[in-house]
Amino acid sequence: MVDEKIVAIGDDLKKHHSFDELIDAHRLLVFPGGIDPHTHMDLPVMGTHSSDDFETGTISALHGGTTSIIDFANQEKGGTLNDALDIWKAKASGKAISDYGFHLTITDLNERTKKEIPAIFKSGITSFKTFTAYRGSLMIDDKMMGEIMREIKALGGLVTVHAEDADTIEDKIREYKNAGLLTPKYHALSHPISAEVKAASRVMDLAYQNESGLYIVHTSAGDTLKAIQKNFDRRQRVFVETCTQYLLLDDSVYDQPGFESAKYVMSPPIRSIDDCKDLWYALRAGLVHSVATDHCPFHYKGQKDAGDGDFTKIPNGAPGVENRMELIYSEGVDKGRITLEKFVEVTSTYAARIFGMKNKGALDIGKDADIVLFDPSALHTISSSSSKQNVDYNLYEGQTVTGKVITVLRRGKVVVRNGKADQMEKGTGQFIKRDKFNFSL
């Protein structure tokens, strides 16, 4: 490695190259650093903030083998896009230790914001998020969605979407509240699969009409996958993301007594065991392209419990960035659901290609030396008490995992050594300037 880049790959490099340190990778697997394309660090929600900021969140990411994240800068209604970016850049600058990029969430497209987009694109932010839910704050209508698609397409960018139908959700919430059904499980029931399918189908039609690229975030259900599959019949290119929790957990988590199931309140919610199976199959078959986390943690005590007695007041979101790589290896590769090659694709390579991260996602000459040394046989148990995530619980508490991150290099510098932090200097993470959307995947 020279100047943070990989300069040679081979069996006996010491014959032709000098180096400062030799790291023994005997009996270990060597992966490219993981890329989580969906995190929410220091996100304002319901009068509070997600409990991980860009320092604690990226520390936990690195311990789990994720060397790059893409977070979301959210435009406020009536505000400018540049204001949103300034706020999120300030959150990350001087704090982030992993490398990072941003998706820009557009909530208000007008003549002023249209003029901002080309310069933002040139600055290396080439993906833009939209919402079909959260009326009044994040949601946009179909007319604006189409306009955004045309604007971004002209630049070579990519539109991403949170696909849930607001009308369906709002009707369900009214129904349950009127009936006095206010426990956490009714959050899940108020976000039915039909809401995801309806919104995803509508946005895919809009993308097709506008010949726009589309990336659907946190896909949770088999029926949504069926709707996406139909678009291949008309030769439409749709990229699909799921998250660790939708592959590993099922909706029995909402049957826990008392308020305990509030830990699993997120949007979309955890689905059935059959949906888990459908997602694993789609991952193996290539219909799902990336596994993210939607990492957005809130403490169970002091944050989630604001909704004790009213599920609509529970902050939506959960932790996950630290455990993604190890869990997908253990449940995917070790259990024979996916190949090792597919694991690398969905945890790193495809995100790099889709989102224009030209120096990331592969162990190739000229790429950033983001490298993970991984013990495929090590057994360990997940516990919030040993987690680096700044949150008081873990979705996977007590689960035994096969495979463990041992050593992590970020741009050639060891940041995790033998499972412990090493040279994790606050603020040394770099902003990732990204290229145009890559249709060639």
Q: Comparing C-alpha atoms, which of 224, 241, 213 is closest to residue 151?
A: 213
Report all structural domains of the chain as residue ranges with CATH numbers, in order of start: 13-421 (3.20.20.140)
Question: Contact, 303 vs 317, CB < 8 A?
Answer: no
pTM above 0.85, yes or no: yes
Q: Which stretches of the chain score pLDDT less than 70?
A: 1, 15-16, 439-441
CB-neighbour burial class of residue 440 (10 A; exposed 0-12, middle 13-18, buried 19+): exposed
Question: Contact, 89 vs 120, CB < 8 A?
Answer: no
Tally of CB atoms within 10 A around 24 = 8
Length of the chain: 441
From CA 116, how far away is CA 149, in angstroms rounded?
Answer: 15
The confidence score (pLDDT) of residue 439 equals 64
* DSSP reduced 3-state for 228: helix
The confidence score (pLDDT) of residue 11 equals 81
Q: What are phi and psi of 101, to 5 degrees?
A: -135, 180
The torsion defined by the Cα of 353, 93, 263 and 34, in degrees rounded to 10, comes to 30
Question: Contact, 310 vs 402, CB < 8 A?
Answer: no
From CA 343, how far away is CA 110, in angstroms rounded?
Answer: 41
DSSP 412: T
Question: Contact, 284 vs 247, CB < 8 A?
Answer: no
From CA 256, how far away is CA 233, in angstroms rounded?
Answer: 42
Helix (H) / strand (E) containing 54: helix 54-63
The confidence score (pLDDT) of residue 1 equals 66
The confidence score (pLDDT) of residue 329 equals 98
The confidence score (pLDDT) of residue 440 equals 64
* pLDDT tens digits, one per residue of 225-266: 999 998 877 888 899 999 999 999 999 999 998 999 999 999
